[in-house]
């Protein structure tokens, strides 16, 4: 969704583009904090493993390494401009542009879908 607003150069999307950039800046800050936290966790696990091999330290090292990789990918996704094939997928709970006919005119609206587990009340949705 964001890419279409960030690529547009028209004045009518200027405010939307500014809001997206502001949101991205907040996301980058949060991801950088998460990255610092996980790198500390990894260093602590490595330090423990130098003295004694424990199951908890091995697991903590694995989890920290996985989270570091995921966080770096998210940071890269925020800063990149070109779209990739995975950007074209639609996931539950995420907004995607959908073209519909409304009052006889074609319009594009942000929509998302939610999958609910069988026999679960609507209040279960996020």
Q: What's the average model confidence in pLDDT over 70-91?
A: 87
Average pLDDT, the chain: 89
Confidence at residue 80, expressed as pLDDT on a 0 to 100 scale = 84
Where along the chain do its domains lie? 2-117
Is pLDDT above 80 for 115?
no
Residue 38 CB neighbour total at 10 angstroms: 20
Confidence at residue 118, expressed as pLDDT on a 0 to 100 scale = 82
What pTM was estimated for this model as a whole? 0.71
Is pLDDT above 90 for 87?
no
For residue range 46-79, list pLDDT tens digits in order: 999 999 999 999 999 999 999 999 999 999 988 8
């Amino acid at each position: 969704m964001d890419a279409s607003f960030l690529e547009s150069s028209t004045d009518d999307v200027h405010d939307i583009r500014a809001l997206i950039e502001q949101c991205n800046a907040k996301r980058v800050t949060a991801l950088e904090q998460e990255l610092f936290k996980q790198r500390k966790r990894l260093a602590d696990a490595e330090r423990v493993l130098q003295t004694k091999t424990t199951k908890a330290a091995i697991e903590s090292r694995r989890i920290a390494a996985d989270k570091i990789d995921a966080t770096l990918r998210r940071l890269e996704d925020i800063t990149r401009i070109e779209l990739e094939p995975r950007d074209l997928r639609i996931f539950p709970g995420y907004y995607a542009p959908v073209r519909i006919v409304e009052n006889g005119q074609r319009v594009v609206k942000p929509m998302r879908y939610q999958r609910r587990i069988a026999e679960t009340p609507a209040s279960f949705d996020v």
